[in-house]
């Protein structure tokens, strides 16, 4: 077993492995043992190859024995959301239509993790094709929140969030299209960062909505989240949306003094729809920031209420286009059914209900006679949302508010009401529409012990500042950021 200080800090673990005080194999064995002991209750992982994990860890130890101690993640296990391509390891997007698919290549972020000495631990559960806010839409069964196994871990990166919170992995990757890194991070009590659009390559990320998708790091604390962000960010010519200079590393700017910081507080983020305990926890963060020298700036972001309908028109339209390739000819298994239309239908029958719902909504919004009324109008509102944020950042340095309206909700509570499920993204959807960076850090707990997250949003390219401020707030909050000894309610 690893010492507690190493099991809760990827940064410290990498340093201990680099110095020879701990073997990479010991770290791998520690996390594999926790997964074997507790993941039956949590269901964070879909694919795990312990033999390969140990072999990769042994290879790191052999490198160190030869005197090669390079790599920011040397020997650190990293859990990977199962919509990121991994050579030799299944990638299913939690969908029946990709069962049996093993990519012949690694996603860009996987290449970077391996180059930094990280060990790919396994593939985590998600809502099918990342379409959901609870991880209940997985074709292989829901994941559960380690803080209360009767509740959701959030989504769509619920498996990654649950894995970090349960101590199965010190680091994880998720993807964030409308909040799928930040929302589960908030519900599971960890840190999750959505980078500026284009700061992290999407090469090897199976597309959901291409103008919104971003890969993001997840960790127990801001320092570790920053460590992983430093590794995965950077220009990649294979991704046409990758932006050179969108992120230049934050290692040298981690102090994050709050003195003089202008924090925007939108009135819309303190509406009646926000749980009272969430409001109180966020207000405490505001008070701590002021005590440390920051200044609160009242804001109005009236287009917040239009973010959800705008997001769900854009995202379903792009999903309809992206998933059209799964036809049994180019992608997906071929189910013969007499003629071409029958084959298409038989193949696409493998999609789950939520994926089918979004494909149909998007196809409708893009269809002749409705394009101008729905998709084009959504693009216009999206532009206005971006302009509204730009004006807000003339008055403040970042925007602070709740990540989610409520703590984690019970499994099954919203499954039959898609609209209520979609409203879980009310505070997380605006940033992707505007291409902005945003992150969630833990800021407290409800009376029943459920984690609460606070969200920071910044101007495009302000990832370094967001992470630095988040670390300062994390220190001021002084919460216990240790992983759970065991899932609660097992």
Catalytic positions, written as ranges = 81, 156, 180
Nearest to 93 by CA among 145, 161, 42, 140: 140
Q: Length of the chain in residues, anyone?
A: 490
**Strand pairing report for 262-266 and 398-402:** parallel
Residue 116 phi, psi (nearest 5): -85, 5
Helical H segments across 268-376, by residue range: 276-291, 304-322, 340-348, 353-366
Angle separating helix axes 276-291 and 463-477, nearest 10 degrees: 100
* Secondary element (H or E) of residue 78: strand 77-81
How many CB atoms lie under 10 A from the CB of residue 360? 12
Nearest to 185 by CA among 222, 142, 150, 213: 222
Q: Please say whether the beta carbons of 303 and 266 come within 8 A.
A: no
Task: Count Cα neighbours of 128 within 13 Å in the Cβ-side half-sphere.
Answer: 22
Residues in CB range of 108: below 8 A, 6 or more apart = 201, 202, 203, 204, 236, 238, 239
Nearest to 229 by CA among 213, 249, 206: 249
User: What gap in Å lies between CA 149 and CA 237, rounded to an integer?
Assistant: 42
């Amino acid at each position: 077993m690893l010492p507690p200080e190493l099991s809760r800090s990827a940064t410290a673990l990498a340093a201990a492995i680099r110095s020879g005080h701990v073997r990479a194999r010991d770290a791998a064995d520690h996390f594999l043992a926790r997964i074997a002991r507790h993941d039956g209750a949590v269901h964070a992982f879909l694919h795990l190859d312990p033999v390969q994990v140990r072999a990769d860890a042994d290879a790191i130890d052999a490198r160190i024995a030869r005197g090669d101690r390079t790599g920011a993640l040397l020997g650190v296990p990293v859990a990977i959301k199962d919509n990121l391509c991994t050579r030799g390891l299944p990638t299913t997007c939690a969908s029946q239509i990709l069962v049996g698919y093993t990519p012949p290549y690694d996603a860009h972020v996987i290449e970077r993790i391996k180059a930094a000495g990280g060990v790919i631990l396994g593939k985590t559960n998600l809502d099918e094709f990342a379409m959901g806010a609870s991880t209940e839409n997985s074709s292989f069964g829901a994941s559960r929140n380690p803080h209360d196994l009767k509740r959701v871990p959030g989504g769509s990166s619920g498996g990654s969030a649950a894995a970090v919170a349960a101590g199965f992995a010190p680091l994880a990757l998720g993807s964030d299209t409308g909040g799928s890194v930040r929302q589960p991070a908030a519900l599971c009590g960890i840190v999750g960062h959505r980078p500026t659009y284009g700061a992290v390559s999407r090469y090897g990320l199976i597309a959901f909505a291409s103008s919104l998708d971003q890969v993001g790091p997840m960790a127990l604390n801001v320092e570790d989240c920053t460590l992983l962000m430093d590794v995965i960010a950077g220009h990649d010519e294979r991704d046409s949306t990758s932006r050179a200079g969108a992120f230049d590393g934050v290692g040298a700017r981690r102090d994050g003094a709050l003195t003089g910081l202008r924090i925007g507080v939108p009135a819309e983020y303190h509406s009646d729809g926000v749980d009272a305990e969430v409001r109180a926890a966020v207000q405490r963060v505001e008070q701590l920031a002021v005590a440390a020298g920051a200044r609160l700036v009242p804001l109005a972001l009236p287009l917040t209420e239009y973010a959800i309908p705008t997001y769900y028109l854009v995202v379903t339209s792009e999903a309809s286009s992206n998933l059209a390739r799964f036809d049994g000819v180019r992608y997906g298994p071929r189910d013969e059914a007499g003629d071409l239309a029958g084959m298409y239908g038989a193949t696409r029958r493998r999609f789950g209900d939520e994926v089918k719902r979004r494909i149909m909504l998007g196809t409708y919004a893009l269809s002749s006679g409705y394009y101008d009324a729905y998709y084009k109008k959504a693009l216009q509102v999206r532009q206005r949302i971006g302009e509204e944020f730009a004006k807000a950042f003339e008055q403040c340095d970042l925007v602070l508010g709740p990540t989610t309206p409520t703590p984690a909700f019970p499994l099954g509570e919203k499954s039959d009401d898609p609209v209520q499920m979609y409203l879980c993204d009310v505070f997380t959807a605006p940033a992707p529409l505007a291409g902005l960076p945003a992150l969630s850090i833990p800021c407290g707990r409800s009376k029943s012990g459920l984690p609460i997250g606070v969200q920071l949003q910044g101007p495009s390219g302000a990832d370094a500042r967001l992470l630095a401020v988040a670390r300062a707030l994390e220190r001021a909050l002084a919460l216990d950021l240790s992983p759970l000894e065991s899932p609660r309610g097992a």
